[in-house]
Structure 1
Amino acid sequence: MPTHSFSKKIDTLTKFEFLNLGLMLLLLHLALHQQDENNFLVSSLLLAHFGFFLLWQPVINTAESISIKTLLIALIVNSLLYFFLNDWFIGLWIIFLIGLTSGSALVSGIQRSLYALAAVILFLQLSLTLTPKLFNLEVLDENIEQVVFYAIIIACSVIIFWPYKKYRTVKTDYLHGLIISFGLFSFYITSILISYTANIHYLQSLLITALSIGSGFVFLSIIWLPRHGISGIGQLWEQHILNIGNPFETWVKQTSLLDQNKKITADLFLKNSIEHLLTLSWVSGVNWSDEKKHTLYGQETKYSTTFTSNNINVQIYSHIPMGAALKIHAQLLMHLMNYFYTSKLREITLMNQTHLKAVYETGSKLTHDMKNILQSLHTLTSVVQTTDDPQKSHQLMKKQLPLLSQRLQNTLDKLQTKTDTGCSFSLIQTWWKELQSRYHGRDILFEGEIYQNTLIDIDVFDTVLENFLENARSKRRSNPDISIIASIYAENERIVIQVCDTGEPVPTSKKNEMFKQILPSNDGYGIGLYQSAQLAEKNGFKLNLLNNESGNICFQLSNSDL
């Protein structure tokens, strides 16, 4: 319980980010201005400084637990370094702190300004306080030194007491901090060397170094951008980066072109894409294995990385050890190749399914046509068996059998030519009379007006109208009193045919989809309306459900441009 309470207090203290940062800088500043003979006070201040550094540090997450043993080891190592290096260790430590504070550039607003102020404080401590002690230099007059001393204390107090929310938001760019640390170290050493070799005052050498480096950056910024038709260094650098990526981009382009080739098989695509991959300078071999095959392309080496996805295992070999970046690069290559390969397999599967779907739809439609012919034949047989007038039966048989024979022949012709569209044409008035004759005696009212006797594809109209009429007649199984009306209107190449009944409406879940996809059905094959809609659309017509109310259900076949 006490341990938990102690950890909770430590966690609370770490949240005061700028308080810990300001106290850390203030204690270091006071330690640097103590006399050399007062070692106990200096050590105490540095120890307290190190404690506040641990509370502020951005390296280890505050949620992580650190053992006391680890802290003791860190403290002992720092103490030994300070004992052997003395102020030189303090100099290296300040450069390290400048890297951490300046590396906190990922924060924004006032926080960034406070971290910039902390970096300035550390730079002044290094250049104006520690350097004279290390090299026995007289840098500032006593009065100016006192002003700088109190100015740094005020700056530390600003960081400590700044009225800002005290929540931990330390975010450090370690690469940025490392570059600044090395740059500051080089700047610091260069200033000292210039001061000694040129025998000039340290502040002068510091100013000369700063002006030289600043001039170098100004010159670099001038030549970075292209001017007066001359390519800048920025363009040369971008070309260098592009040259690094070009082999990868070329491989991706070649692989995508292979994927677009519809005639190439998945295995041939895989072989060609891996052969292109082997042209990259760092790739020596590729081992591809799945559930069916195991193939090695190129040569095996002791350096490799593995990619696994969807029961596919790919191992890519290189001539040199792969770093983290190169492994990510290789994983991306394998992911792309696997994506293209699986898409090729799906494309082939889809083609097979499309072919099977076409065969199924053709067979289903022909089966539906045969079903309608059998129903017509069954109705004709029933009429013959129930009539008492042989002469009338003979006339009916003589009239209907040739029509049924022709329809059966047309269906067989479709099967032999493997097509689902007919090519038999007839005048619409003749077709309408034949339709009435086929449904004679089935209690269906036919009405309408035909003002223009145009040619129509009778297979299309037979398929659609028989589907409408048979769906309406199937409702009479549960309600024999249902009335069915078929009407036609034809004038100036405008054709409108409607089939209405007084039965139950189409379910709401089906009325928006029955012309677009195959739906399950308890009557028939559940494909009739879908096939009728597709067939009508191919021939310039469309199907609509005009009314869908109880007692008034109307289907319509009409020209698509209406």
Structure 2
Amino acid sequence: MTMFQQYMFNKPNIYRVTTSTRFEFINLGLMLLLLHLALHQPTENSPLVSALLLAHIGFFLLWQPALNATEEIHLKTLIPVLLLNIALYLLLGDWFIALWIILLIGLTSGSALVNGFQRTLYALSAVILFLQLSLILTPRLFHLNVLDHELEQIIFYVLLFACALLILWPCKKVRSVKIDYLHSILISFGLFSFYVTSILISFTSNIHYLQSLLITALSIGVFFIILSLIWLPRHGLAGIGQIWEQHILNIGNPFENWVKHTSLLGQNKKITPDLYLENSIKQLLTLSWVSGVKWSDNKSENLYGEVSAQQTLFEDNGIRMILYSHIPMGSALKIHAQLLMHLMSYFYNSKLREITLKNQTHLKAVYETGSKLTHDIKNILQSLQALTGVVHAADDPAESHQLISKQLPILSQRLQNTLDKLQTKTDTGKSFKQMDVWWTELQSRYHGRDIQFVGETDQNTSIDTDVFDTVLENLLENARNKRRTRPETEITTTIKLEKGQPVITVYDDGDPVPVSKTNVLFKQILPSKDGYGIGLYQSAQLAERNGYQLQLIHNEPSNVCFQLSSSKI
């Protein structure tokens, strides 16, 4: 068995002729050349004309822009096309050639949507075909005496040269051309209308065919000039272009109204995600082409409307949505439906995230309030422990009794304020005292803890005790924690007035705050074993909410200083 027989045995139904994009314009030029030669043959020489047209169809298949964009020609494609063309030619004759040329002009013009010199070559091929149709074939069809013999010869050789130019032009880098079929159909229809109009004008007005051709071309040119003028909006009037774009965007449906309704539902803070979804789908079902929507997630599945054969599927973040329509959906309508379902899913997920964020915010508020009150209770307990230690260490019972009688009412009042906040679930941070009274109470609370208090107060100035107590106790406890590793650490608290506002600093000569923590010290909760953790973060947040600011103004070895002041200073 020969190699050819083996090949035909393995591929019995397919005959393949491989082409290359390098020969694209060679095939195109030969196709036009053979058609040109066939049109100039006498009608009596039908065998030669048939042979030339058959070869023309063959090179068309090699060019094959409308049949197969790949580089192969299959036998199942070749035989039906050849039979169809032969049958139409035998039935219609030159009229079939005229329609065939109009189709070729549309295909070459549709191929001209490329860049570079390819565009010029395809435009040249369209011109060749148009001249063949209007100056050679049309006079034969309608028995018109358009050109004299010498001019016909000139046009013949000019078109012959143009075809040779397509064949012989060197194209080193040729890309395969994709046909814009809609563009080709529109051009073919427009050329057919132009062709028929020019012939009708010639016969009805009894004018020369070339004059009617010129009149038709000028009329169409004026029409396109007027169309270009009214296409864009001018003098406050909407142009045809805007009306066309609105038609494309809406696709005959109240798309903008649905989006507006959906966005208003999304802005409603009280509406639940399920209620939002139900109202949006009900509004979607008012569209004329929508018959039903099936919505499902990991937990539930619901059907709104009716099921139909036409459907489009949308899946995103565990949500599966099927939109059913009354009519078959094309590509544009499917994109439109995907956009509708994407918007609905987006707003639905936004409502779910809104609820999650609201819950997280509520839990964060409860956590911060509980943490702050816990911190206050811890400070009160530390004050009680310090007071108990002083009483046990005192030798004079009268002095101990006097100290207890001063401190217990203050601690009782602080504990009562903390319990009131816990019961009412509020943290107003508004409890004012005179500056000198608060300063005296602060010194008495830290009596015997080896802390220096320096500064002068004003009895006419009020101070927010809740803010200053919380912040100062946190700063002093952080400073006292340094004495666990360095007992000789000195702690100094100063108070002064600047522009009528109290300014308090807490200084110690211990180790500085680590550099890695200074940039985020008051901005987030930091893990800590001996201070600078959640307490400073809560203190800074409390101070900021009440118009104060907490700052680390010095952070050096043996010089660490925090300052609490009004943000207006």
Indicate the TM-score class for this superposition, using the shorter chain for normalisation.
0.7 to 0.9
1:126 counterpart residue number: 133
Q: Is the 8 A contact 2:18 2:72 kept in 1?
A: no
AA in 1 matched with 2:55: L
Q: What does 1:260-275 correspond to in 2, within 5 Å?
A: 260-275=267-282
1:410 counterpart residue number: 417
Superposition deviation, residue 351 in structure 1: 1.6
- 1:56-99 Cα deviation digits (max 9, x unpaired): 848755xx563654564477457745864665554334322211
The separation in 2 between residues aligned to 1:16 and 1:549, in whole angstroms, is 81
1:370 counterpart residue number: 377
Once structures 1 and 2 are overlaid, which stretch shifts more, 164-173 or 478-487? 164-173
Q: What does 1:60-99 correspond to in 2, within 5 Å?
A: 64=70, 66=72, 68-69=74-75, 72-73=78-79, 76-77=82-83, 80=86, 84=90, 87-99=94-106
- 1:427-458 Cα deviation digits (max 9, x unpaired): 22222232222223333333234367511011
Cα distance change, pair 220–536 in 1 and its aligned pair in 2 (3 A): closer
Superposition deviation, residue 365 in structure 1: 0.4
The separation in 1 between residues aligned to 2:167 and 2:453, in whole angstroms, is 97
Q: Select 1:545's aligned residue among 549, 552, 559.
A: 552
1:425 counterpart residue number: 432
The separation in 2 between residues aligned to 1:344 and 1:369, in whole angstroms, is 37
1:6 counterpart residue number: none
Superposition deviation, residue 498 in structure 1: 1.7
The reply on whether 1:511 has 2:518 as its aligned counterpart is: yes
1:450 counterpart residue number: 457
The reply on whether 1:253 has 2:266 as its aligned counterpart is: no
Superposition deviation, residue 304 in structure 1: 3.5
1:54 counterpart residue number: 62
Q: Is the 8 A contact 1:505 1:549 kept in 2?
A: yes
Cα distance change, pair 384–452 in 1 and its aligned pair in 2 (3 A): closer
Cα distance change, pair 67–507 in 1 and its aligned pair in 2 (3 A): farther
The reply on whether 1:286 has 2:293 as its aligned counterpart is: yes
Cα distance change, pair 106–505 in 1 and its aligned pair in 2 (3 A): farther
The separation in 1 between residues aligned to 2:454 and 2:203, in whole angstroms, is 117
Q: Is the 8 A contact 2:253 2:287 kept in 1?
A: no
Cα distance change, pair 449–91 in 1 and its aligned pair in 2 (3 A): same
The separation in 1 between residues aligned to 2:464 and 2:241, in whole angstroms, is 71
For residue 103 of structure 1, give the secondary structure of its aligned residue in structure 2.
helix
1:354 counterpart residue number: 361
Once structures 1 and 2 are overlaid, which stretch shifts more, 275-284 or 386-395? 386-395
Aligned residues: 553
AA in 2 matched with 1:107: V
Superposition deviation, residue 211 in structure 1: 4.3
The reply on whether 1:101 has 2:101 as its aligned counterpart is: no
Cα distance change, pair 230–450 in 1 and its aligned pair in 2 (3 A): closer
2:150 counterpart residue number: 143
- 1:391-442 Cα deviation digits (max 9, x unpaired): 5544443333332222212211211221223332212222223222222333
Q: Select 1:333's aligned residue among 336, 340, 344.
A: 340
Cα distance change, pair 53–429 in 1 and its aligned pair in 2 (3 A): farther
AA in 1 matched with 2:72: I
The separation in 1 between residues aligned to 2:54 and 2:474, in whole angstroms, is 96
Superposition deviation, residue 124 in structure 1: 0.9
Cα distance change, pair 495–321 in 1 and its aligned pair in 2 (3 A): same
Once structures 1 and 2 are overlaid, which stretch shifts more, 313-322 or 238-247? 238-247
The separation in 1 between residues aligned to 2:308 and 2:200, in whole angstroms, is 50
The separation in 1 between residues aligned to 2:232 and 2:430, in whole angstroms, is 72
Superposition deviation, residue 557 in structure 1: 0.9
Superposition deviation, residue 466 in structure 1: 1.1
Superposition deviation, residue 459 in structure 1: 0.9
- 1:147-181 Cα deviation digits (max 9, x unpaired): 21232244445556668773427354322221001
Superposition deviation, residue 319 in structure 1: 3.2
Superposition deviation, residue 463 in structure 1: 0.6
Superposition deviation, residue 372 in structure 1: 1.3
- 1:467-517 Cα deviation digits (max 9, x unpaired): 112222223333434333322222441322222333343344432233223
AA in 2 matched with 1:295: N
The separation in 2 between residues aligned to 1:396 and 1:48, in whole angstroms, is 119
Superposition deviation, residue 552 in structure 1: 2.8
For residue 303 of structure 2, give the secondary structure of its aligned residue in structure 1.
strand
Q: Percent identity?
A: 67
2:305 counterpart residue number: 298
Cα distance change, pair 204–351 in 1 and its aligned pair in 2 (3 A): same
The separation in 1 between residues aligned to 2:556 and 2:56, in whole angstroms, is 87
1:152 counterpart residue number: 159
Q: Is the 8 A contact 2:27 2:62 kept in 1?
A: no
Superposition deviation, residue 362 in structure 1: 0.7
2:13 counterpart residue number: none
Q: Is the 8 A contact 1:270 1:341 kept in 2?
A: yes
Superposition deviation, residue 360 in structure 1: 1.0
AA in 2 matched with 1:247: P
AA in 2 matched with 1:66: E
Q: Select 2:536's aligned residue among 511, 529, 535.
A: 529
The reply on whether 1:559 has 2:566 as its aligned counterpart is: yes
Give me the TM-score of the superposition, normalised by structure 2.
0.83
Superposition deviation, residue 26 in structure 1: 4.2
The reply on whether 1:176 has 2:183 as its aligned counterpart is: yes
Cα distance change, pair 502–398 in 1 and its aligned pair in 2 (3 A): same
Q: What's the C-alpha RMSD, in Å, of the aligned pairs?
A: 3.9
The separation in 2 between residues aligned to 1:240 and 1:328, in whole angstroms, is 15
Cα distance change, pair 251–236 in 1 and its aligned pair in 2 (3 A): closer
AA in 1 matched with 2:377: M
AA in 2 matched with 1:478: T
Q: Which runs of 5+ in 1 are unaligned?
A: 4-8
Superposition deviation, residue 261 in structure 1: 1.5
Q: Is the 8 A contact 1:544 1:555 kept in 2?
A: yes
